[in-house]
A and B are shown apart, each in its own frame.
Chain A
Amino acid sequence: MFHAVGHAPVQLEFGTVHRVLSGGNHHPWLCQLEDASGPSGFWVVKPQHVVSRSTQRAQFGVLSELAAAEVCAWLDVPVPSLGLVRFPVDAGDVDVPAHLDERTRQEIRTTAEINAGQLAFCGRYLPEAHDLAAAVFVDGDTKAQLLDVGAKLFFLDAYMRHDDRQVENPNALWWTKRIVAIDHGNAFAGLSDTGKTGAGLAAMTVLSNVPRRHVLYESLRDVVTEVDISAAVQRLQSVADGVIDAAAAGWPKELDVRPRPRDEGLKTRLVRFLKNRRAVVPTIMDNVMAELRRQK
């Protein structure tokens, strides 16, 4: 059910669209998808372009989902298995569920049209998972998860420049007694901007105010004396270039677009970011711990 280090995303095809998951900003779809040998289960499909929000990330949104899942897997932070599906060139080939209301049906039609022929990111659907909330980690399994996965995730969000795991929109689930990270379309903030380079952005370590709105911030502060991410830091530092290259080999070349002709391609940028980011891991850890220990 979870992504493992180095596993390429599964190549999927559209099968059955069931719902639009309208809880967040991005409005992904719940679908039954197919692989080469038939039905491949239930997936959450995130189109590059949606009508529910404005985003310029497009291809980079897919790339950042793939890369963030890989980074999480390096530290055993669960992220649902990954897949890629291509929208049919003819939007009419997407079967619109008859049981949905007309507004949702129209949203599906329009989304299919504006994404025609394009790749979409897919994450394995976890039935009965619920959103994480602050201040629920009080004892036993929940506290153990907070100190292990929760602390690593908080640190990784700083590492990945990911500011979209907030109290109002946690993008983290509680599923079968564990924390699961989802929705990394906004990770690697700034990396898709015109003129940016992977190496340049990797050197930036100052945390903004954003961690204070992180869904795990207050919970981690309550147990800060028990938080120890030193082992995670060592593991991140020891990730070899070959591991990063192997993961990137599974990301489609067509996503490696250049914002301007003289810019680095997005995929190239992301790889350089990941390779250079390791050098500043201790600084990020210090910043994260200082933020958690800050006087209330």
Chain B
Amino acid sequence: MKTVEFRLVQIVLSQVGDDRLTVGIVHWDGEKIRTATSFRGVPKGDRRLLERTVKNQIARFKRAVPKTPGLNFGLASLVHVREGLGASLLWTAPNRGRTRNPQAHFDELVKMLKLESAARTRETEPGGSARACVVELGRALVSEAEDKVFVNHETSRRQTYNSPLSWKTGRWHHVIVADFSHGSGDRIDLTARASYGIARLAIPPEDVSVVVAVPPRDAELSARACKEAANIQEALQEDGVSAEVISLRRDAARKVDYADLRKRVYDDVTGKAAE
């Protein structure tokens, strides 16, 4: 278990009623600073200036991360902020907890506080539009099982990866989109290699990689894509990596049908699969 610390930054809407709106979080695990903000609900008047002010303050934390790993005197000493009530911007005292997975701990807080992490706006990872569709599917599933489904969840092993859809039922599952829908046979090879590489380099060994294969539009290339999807699964299993492949289909209008992925996740998080 690793110790994590976090501070919230809040707008005090009324000192008399003690009404507060949380607009940001800074989360520190001794090595990495994670931040998230949201300014929805802030009164319009000075919102833009306030937003810049908060973001500037939060940026100080990122700059303050020590270059020497292991040199950790705690979040309070990393950057000094004014605590306690004064004007309308309030930093809470650091809270501390323990976790096996700081990123997931942070993601839970962000979700509960209805903030947006920096990673959430970054949807330009490999996978393109198919990835965006998986994120969209994930957001819909969040409403079904808020506590178990995550979108844009960052995983880390030797490299980091921004998983479009992750879910947790005893073990973490992370989707890797293998988008075979564009280009030639060479492109299919590259996509397969990239997917395999993500599973090996960026998914923690105790977690499950779920490779979601998006079929090509060209029927002739479909067989090749299927073969590569099977190759990925075999290679990962040979390596002792927990992995599964979900090969999506195209409907009559040749649009990608995400129903199989949705069913896989839904059954898992609602316990239907076990019944």
What 1/0 flags go to A56-94 for Cβ under 8 Å of B?
A: 000000000000000000000000000000000000000
- Which residue of B1, B4, B105, B172 contacts A37 across the interface (Cβ within 8 Å)? B172
| Contact across chains for B97 and A95 when beta carbons are under 8 A apart | yes
* Residues from 79 to 129 in B contacting A, C-beta threshold 8 Å: 92-101, 104-105, 107-109, 112
Main secondary structure of the interface of A (DSSP, over half): strand
Kindly provide the distance from the CB of A46 to the nearest chain B CB, expressed in whole angstroms.
18
Quick check: is A213 within 8 A (CB to CB) of the other chain? no
Quick check: is B52 within 8 A (CB to CB) of the other chain? no
Kindly provide the distance from the CB of B79 to the nearest chain A CB, expressed in whole angstroms.
16
| Contact across chains for A97 and B206 when beta carbons are under 8 A apart | no
| Contact across chains for B172 and A95 when beta carbons are under 8 A apart | no
Kindly provide the distance from the CB of B83 to the nearest chain A CB, expressed in whole angstroms.
9
Quick check: is A110 within 8 A (CB to CB) of the other chain? no
Residues of B within 8 A of A42 (CB): 108, 112, 147
A39-B99 contact in complex given A16-B105, A32-B105, C-beta closer than 8 Å: yes
A32-B108 contact in complex given A37-B100, A97-B95, C-beta closer than 8 Å: yes
Interface residues on B, range: 20 to 34
Quick check: is B43 within 8 A (CB to CB) of the other chain? no
Closest to B92 in A: A99
- Which residue of A15, A18, A97 contacts B105 across the interface (Cβ within 8 Å)? A15
Residues of A within 8 A of B98 (CB): 14-16, 34, 95
* Residues from 15 to 48 in A contacting B, C-beta threshold 8 Å: 15-18, 32, 34-42
Kindly provide the distance from the CB of A160 to the nearest chain B CB, expressed in whole angstroms.
24
Residues of B within 8 A of A13 (CB): 1
Interface size on A (CB < 8 Å)? Answer: 25
| Contact across chains for B100 and A16 when beta carbons are under 8 A apart | no
C-alpha gap A296/B105 in the complex (Å): 53
Quick check: is B145 within 8 A (CB to CB) of the other chain? yes
C-alpha gap A45/B21 in the complex (Å): 25
Closest to A93 in B: B98
| Contact across chains for A39 and B271 when beta carbons are under 8 A apart | no
A37-B170 contact in complex given A1-B147, A7-B271, C-beta closer than 8 Å: yes
Closest to A6 in B: B275
C-alpha gap A98/B147 in the complex (Å): 25
Quick check: is A124 within 8 A (CB to CB) of the other chain? yes
A15-B99 contact in complex given A37-B171, A37-B206, C-beta closer than 8 Å: yes
| Contact across chains for B108 and A17 when beta carbons are under 8 A apart | no
Quick check: is B168 within 8 A (CB to CB) of the other chain? yes
Residues of B within 8 A of A39 (CB): 99-101, 104-105, 107-108
A38-B104 contact in complex given A15-B97, A99-B95, C-beta closer than 8 Å: yes
Kindly provide the distance from the CB of B149 to the nearest chain A CB, expressed in whole angstroms.
11
Enumerate 8 A-B pairs (CB-CB under 8 Å) in ascending A order. A16-B4, A34-B99, A37-B207, A38-B100, A38-B104, A39-B107, A39-B108, A98-B94
Q: Which residues of B approach A to under 8 Å, CB–CB?
A: 1, 4, 92-101, 104-105, 107-109, 112, 145-148, 168, 170-172, 206-207, 271
Q: Which residues of A approach B to under 8 Å, CB–CB?
A: 1, 4, 7, 13-18, 32, 34-42, 95, 97-99, 124, 127
Q: Contacts A32-B97, A37-B172, A39-B108 given; 17 further ones with Cβ under 8 A?
A: A1-B146, A15-B98, A16-B96, A17-B97, A32-B109, A34-B98, A35-B170, A37-B101, A37-B171, A38-B168, A38-B172, A41-B147, A41-B148, A98-B93, A98-B95, A99-B92, A127-B146
